[in-house]
Amino acid sequence: MASTTFVAVLFLCSFLFLLAPTHSDGAVPPSATPVDPSVACNSSVDPKFCRSVLPRRGSLYDYGRFSLAKSLSDARKFFDLVGRYLAGHSSLSPTAVLALQDCQLLSSLNIDFLTSAGAALNYTDTLLDPQAEKLQTLLSALVTNQQTCSDGLQATAGAWSVKNGLAVPISNGTKLYGMSLALFNKAWKNRGRSKGNHSASELIPHRRGLLFHEAKVDGDRRIPLRMSAPKRELFERWSGRRLLQTVTDTVLVYDVVAVSQDGTGNYTTITDAVNSAPSNLDGTTNGYYLIYVAAGVYQEYVVVGKRKTYLMMIGEGINRTVVTGSHNVVDAVVGQGFVAINMTFQNTAGPAKAQAVAVRNGADLSTFYLCSFEGYQDTLYTHSMRQFYRECDIYGTVDYIFGNAAVVFQSCNVYSRLPRPRQSNTVTAQGRSDPNQNTGTSMLSCRFLAADDLAAGGGSTRTYLGRPWRLYSRTVIAESFVDALVDPAGWLPWNGSFALDTLYYGEFGNTGPGAGTADRVTWPGFHVISEGDAANFTVSNFILGDNWLPQAGVPYDSGLL
């Protein structure tokens, strides 16, 4: 955003600070009534910091807009500061440069998120639930992005001057972003019916999505896609699949290209195909950019950048279309609306390596269907935003589903592998660091199983459903099959008593020899939850999937079974 745009936003915030908005009936809404800063700040993580920043007089709306403008200014300054460090990178190690480049990407995303939030909130005092959920998601991601930048720098050997120079700006930015999130929730998000405030009659489960028809060809499901006749002919020739003509209006396709290592497609690498996609598709008006990836093992680092939105990638099946590597730099997705189907993503760094991330996903409204994620420690990084995984296989050892997205796994197979000697398996490590974030990991109708190597030689290995990576870690497992590999305690501490009274771990309606809760941990934050509580973590309620998953065409159950 140009500097003049920021000045305009700041001016608008100042102007709105003087004018308390009213409803159409002339009444002043509660959030527009002047309140003391101490009242406005009482739901923030750091009320003292919040009070020190806010003006001495204003309404919740005023404070929220003021905080967003201040956060945007801070995000721009931080982006410029990282750029200055990168400009002198000749003295830095390659890992330090990578960490700074990641900070640069994350801070650019924060600028985008704050710009979007400010533009939406400067003109309204009332938000419908989908828009409020979107803005809460953006503001939740600010805090996550800042934490990820800090983690990356701290894990970098050397570069002490960079770490020390960025430590205070990162800390101050985290406080500002947390304050903006808290004020948004107080003024806008919490004025309507909160998520999960539904009666039992409203929580009737139903199945959505028609992308894959029940008919099968070569063990795979047919794909009805709406595209022009020439593009349909191309897709059918590349894929060897005849598309069903009777349900062709399911998913709109803007264009289709093929990746094949033998040169028969448009591209020989996935990266080139991704780079060929147009920028900023919306998925509704012009549809998805469809990349068909032929069978093969693709040893490349794939990045789906923030401008590559509504990109759909379809492979030929798990273990047939494979994206692989043993790198520390992982395949990363941030482009909104990304969809992957029938593919394997793997990191072949073995259990002796500290990390083996296969995919880092920070793409809002992203979907993985019939995919496999294979690694050991830290396999699948569900980094941020809203995500959905259906009928996927996830393999790993330590914290192998981790991150701070609002994410639902549905009907997935979760395979714990054989770890290093004397090492325990932990399936999840959820990273919610602020109680105002709408994030968490929800695992519904999944199966928690031992991979072949663990089943054959892991008799003394203990496996747990998760441990708290951050202070407000939140994970729910419902209506799933839990095999005997899971320890009766269920959950593992991170470090002593850290987060045990602030986390939220819930289990509901699980079956199998490892599902019993009689011997589960007795932490204040662990709960055997009711059906009503579990319903808060369904596709419909937790990620508002009914509003966006039909566009992707994948099947899903919106409620509990």
Residues with catalytic function: 399
Contact 137, 542 (CB under 8 A): no
Our CA angle for 222, 342, 213, nearest 5°, is 20
Single-letter amino acid, residue 3: S
| Distance between CA atoms of residues 375 and 530, nearest Å | 34
Strand pairing category for 556-557 and 207-208: antiparallel
DSSP state of 485: T
Q: H or E stretch including 135?
A: helix 129-154
Tokens read off for 444: 């519904």
- What are the helix and strand counts (H, E) for the chain? 13, 32
SS3 338: coil
Do 390 and 412 form a contact (C-beta atoms < 8 A)? yes
Q: Which phi and psi (to 5°) does residue 451 adopt?
A: -65, 165
Q: What distance in Å separates the CA atoms of residue 550 and residue 553, rounded to the nearest whole number?
A: 5
CA 64, CA 185: separation in Å to the nearest integer?
9
Please list, in sequence order, all residues whose beta carbon lies within 8 angstroms of the beta carbon of residue 485, skipping any fewer than 6 positions away: 416, 425, 448, 449, 450, 454, 458, 461, 463, 514
Residue 59 and residue 33 in contact, taking contact as beta carbons nearer than 8 Å: yes
β-strand partners of 403: 430
